[in-house]
């Protein structure tokens, strides 16, 4: 399952929990309010985990790209250098998108 799907599911869970919490507060049902709060926090946590996983992938891509670019530079292979730079930038972009 992709992290984007996990993030979306987490957001849905967060919203559902917030609504349930609000309704519980509105009607004076403490149990419903508490259950809603738990669901909201679980949804937020699910989103945070998905973001962290994507950041880790981005770090891996960035490092792999730097290594590939350096090897390409050492052996004089411009294509390898370009591919390394592209992978490095992809990794940086993934990290930035998941801050």
pLDDT in tens, 41-96: 999 999 999 999 999 999 999 999 999 999 999 999 999 999 999 999 999 999 99
- How many domains are contained in the chain? 1
Chain-centre distance for alpha carbon 25: 31
Say if 47 falls within a structural domain: yes
- Domain of residue 59, residue span: 3-94
Flag whether 99 is in a domain: no
List helix spans (H) across the chain: 3-27, 30-75, 78-97
**Structural domain includes residue 85:** yes
Give the model's pLDDT for residue 1.
52
Let me know if residue 20 belongs to a domain: yes
């Amino acid at each position: 399952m992709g992290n984007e799907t996990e993030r979306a599911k987490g957001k849905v869970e967060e919203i559902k929990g917030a609504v349930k919490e609000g309704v519980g507060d509105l009607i004076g049902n403490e149990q419903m309010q508490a259950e809603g709060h738990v669901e909201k926090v679980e949804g937020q946590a699910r989103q945070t985990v998905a973001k962290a996983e994507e950041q880790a992938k981005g770090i891996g891509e960035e490092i792999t790209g730097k290594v590939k670019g350096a090897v390409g530079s050492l052996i004089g292979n411009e294509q390898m250098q370009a591919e390394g730079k592209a992978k490095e930038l992809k990794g940086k972009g993934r990290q930035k998108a998941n801050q």
